[in-house]
């Protein structure tokens, strides 16, 4: 039996990780994969660190991903990319949105936001795809679609055909926002294809 594909979505409460995981779940279902999704509620709305674990494959038992096991980490924010990097398996890929959201400890001057996170992660020999998801989303007409830009980049890395993703978006996102989100998806997909990510 094939090992499941493990995708970790990490970000800050309010960035839309949960919607992103819903779309991925719908995609997995359409392909006929077994799927488990695990997330923590309760604190997410209060600007805390959020993580959604998505596992898809022939048969999935545990809903959890351990350190060194994630095939893909989809990081919605740089500091969260750093925080969860240990979860990436050797040869896995981390897609990083180059957005920085300061935690209160940094705002209050009690801690420092680490400098140059992306080059530092790259220097570790890790497969990194950097994306300016927020800029792409704004260009598409809605800053909130940054999560779908990231999904577009994820789609580029997974062996699932585009139409299934488009159908999943249509099934998950309200019709009035679909056009913007489709454009955001394309932007992410294209940026990831070009390799520069910018």
Per CB under 8 A, contacts with other proteins among 29-48 are: 29, 34-48
Both tokens of 152, joined, read 């577009």
Cβ contact 4:37 at 8 Å: no
Check residue 110 for interaction with other proteins (CB under 8 A).
Answer: yes
Query: What sign results for the dihedral spanned by CA atoms 90, 168, 18, 34?
Result: negative
Check residue 159 for interaction with other proteins (CB under 8 A).
Answer: no
Nearest CA-CA partner of 71 in 49, 94, 39: 94
Per-residue binding letters, 134-153, with other proteins (x by CB under 8 A)? --------------------
Closest distance of CB 15 from other proteins, Å: 12
Dist. CA 51–CA 132, nearest whole Å: 20
Check residue 2 for interaction with other proteins (CB under 8 A).
Answer: no
Both tokens of 147, joined, read 């999560």
Q: Which residues bind other proteins (CB under 8 A)?
A: 12-13, 25, 29, 34-49, 60-64, 66-69, 79-80, 82-83, 85-86, 88, 90, 102-114, 120-121, 124-126
């Amino acid at each position: 039996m094939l090992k499941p594909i493990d995708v970790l979505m990490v970000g800050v409460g309010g960035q839309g990780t949960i919607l992103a995981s819903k779309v991925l779940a719908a995609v997995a279902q359409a392909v006929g994969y077994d799927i488990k999704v695990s997330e923590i509620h309760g604190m997410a709305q209060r600007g805390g660190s959020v993580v959604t674990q998505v596992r898809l494959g022939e048969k999935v038992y545990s809903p959890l991903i351990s350190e060194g096991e994630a095939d893909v980490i989809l990081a919605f924010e740089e500091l969260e990319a750093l925080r969860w990097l240990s979860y990436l398996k050797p040869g896995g890929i981390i897609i990083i949105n180059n957005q920085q959201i300061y935690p209160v400890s940094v705002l209050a001057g009690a801690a420092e936001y680490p400098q140059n996170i992306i080059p530092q992660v790259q220097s570790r020999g890790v497969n990194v795809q950097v994306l300016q998801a927020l800029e792409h989303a704004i260009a598409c007409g809605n800053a909130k679609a940054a999560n779908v830009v990231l999904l577009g980049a994820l789609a580029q890395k997974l062996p699932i055909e585009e139409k299934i993703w488009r159908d999943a978006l249509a099934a998950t996102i309200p019709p009035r926002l679909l056009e913007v989100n489709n454009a955001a998806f394309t932007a992410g997909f294209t940026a990831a294809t070009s390799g520069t990510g910018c």
